[in-house]
Amino acid sequence: MSAARSGAAVGPSAAGGQGAAGGSGAAVGPSAAGGQGRSAGVQLHVTSLPGGRLGAEAHRFVEWLAAAGQSWWQVLPLHPPDRHRSPYRPSSAFAAWRGLLEGPRAPVTASEIASFRERQRFWIDDWERFAGRGAVADQVRFEREWQRLREHAAACGVRILGDVAIYVARGSCDHVAHPELFRSGAVAGAPPDAYSSTGQRWGNPLYDWPALRRTGYRWWVERMRRTLELFDLARLDHFRGFVAYWAVPERARTAVSGSWRRGPGIALFRALERGLADRAATGGGAPPAAAMGGGAPPAAATLLPLIAEDLGVITPAVERLRDELGLPGMVVLQFGFDPGDPASPHRPANHLPNRVVYTGTHDQDTVRAWLGSLDVPSRALLDSELAARGLVDRRLPWWSVIRLALSSPATIAIVQAQDLLGLGSGARMNVPGRTGTAWRWQLAPGALTPALARRLREATEEAGRLAGAGSRGARDAGR
């Protein structure tokens, strides 16, 4: 979900007591993420590759990332999207989308299907009943193609950063197969805020958290198990919804009449840890800071390699839950230059090591378009920041912002592929609340050139984000 969709403050009655029970509230600073292991990556959904599928283009992109000195490829959710192609309203929280396959008709053996059924027995029968004949074979094909990609990426020194959409779609496989785990009478949304006077009515079914608790959060445990099979690290969408979420009456046309409801808080994450203890015991678990390449986490930190999407106006309860779990949060440069908000966590001077910094997200305009939209005071603030850091590039001003992200003390820096190319609004991935052109942008074949890789590698090295990079970037980070 976008920052716009998670951006309203919780009132006093909702903010209190909903975070980690007994949480320390301690900020996660250098001891959590350290100045070591700084890295960088590029966000590009699989559908935005030339051709929009796995296979040769995906392997070429991994090779380009390696040449450019990048450690991460961030993708959006891989599950079947809705009719508008949004991966944030998936028809399954477990199945991968057939539309991503390079070889949708590749042969599949009976033994492969039997093996997959055994390993994915929690959800695959439900998916087969929902999706029909051939559904299991498609998942086997995806597993083969994805595994080949993961192995190639690992050989190139590139890790995959995934995305977990908090909600599923109404009428999705999970909603149909497990109706007892969802509430009736209300749907997901966001309250009125600066982005919308009527709020946002997303329409996703809401979880019945007490019902999930009575099962030991089994559905979420299995969902996270599947997620961590696919990715090295995953962004947890709409993290604030685990503390408190906006429930909109089902028959309401807008979100104005919604209200805050308490989420599961830390209980869910402790259940995930218990349910996935076998993963940690076999060496598959590492604290988020360690998975990112940082230092020692807080004593109570989770072993789950997750990033908290904590965008918008975040309450102390949300911060307590994030920090007690030791989860890295997100900062986005496009949110950092409001002259009236000097304390914004997105302001470069306020960045912390245990964060992931972005030039922008899939729900925002490209950096080039954003630069053209800034009002005079905001642009003056940005220009002053760039000048103070010696990052002004008048010929390619979007590269100034890219280098600003790379210079952040945040342990990971992620740049959108569109921003590397200096593209305008036509390359925007999504505009929240609009349909028709969203989720359709694709790279032109050959757009990511060797020269562009060299330029990104040089900027990454200057910021101390290459593997084994010298101390210059580490010293200069956060200047």
Q: What secondary structure does DSSP assign to 205-265, as a single string?
A: EEE-HHHHHHTTSHHHHHHHHHHHHH-SEEEETTGGGGTEEEEEETT-SSSTT-EEEE--T
With residues binned 3-state (H G I as helix, E B as strand, rest as coil), the percentages for the chain, rounded to 5, are: 40, 15, 45
Q: Which of 309, 323, 324, 419 is catalytic?
A: 309
Cα separation of 151 and 143, whole Å?
A: 12
Q: Which of 145, 222, 237, 323 is catalytic?
A: 237
Q: Is 363 a catalytic residue?
A: yes
Q: Which of 102, 145, 363, 419 is catalytic?
A: 363
Bridge partners (DSSP) of residue 261 are 245
Q: Residue 125 carries which DSSP code?
A: H
User: 465 near 38, Cβ under 8 Å?
Assistant: yes
Q: Is 323 a catalytic residue?
A: no
Per residue, what are the HEC states of 55-92? CHHHHHHHHHHHHCCCCEEECCCCCCCCCCCCCCCCCC
Closest CA to 73 of 157, 186, 2: 157
Cα separation of 32 and 372, whole Å?
A: 37
Max CA separation in the chain (angstroms) = 64
Cα separation of 84 and 388, whole Å?
A: 43
Cα separation of 181 and 312, whole Å?
A: 28
Cα separation of 187 and 287, whole Å?
A: 33
Angle of CA points 100, 102, 106, to nearest 5°: 115
What would the two tokens of residue 361 be?
């997200």
Q: Residue 358 carries which DSSP code?
A: E
Cα–Cα separations (whole angstroms), residue 221 to 62, 208, 455: 30, 15, 42
For the annotated catalytic residues, the residue numbers are: 237, 309, 363
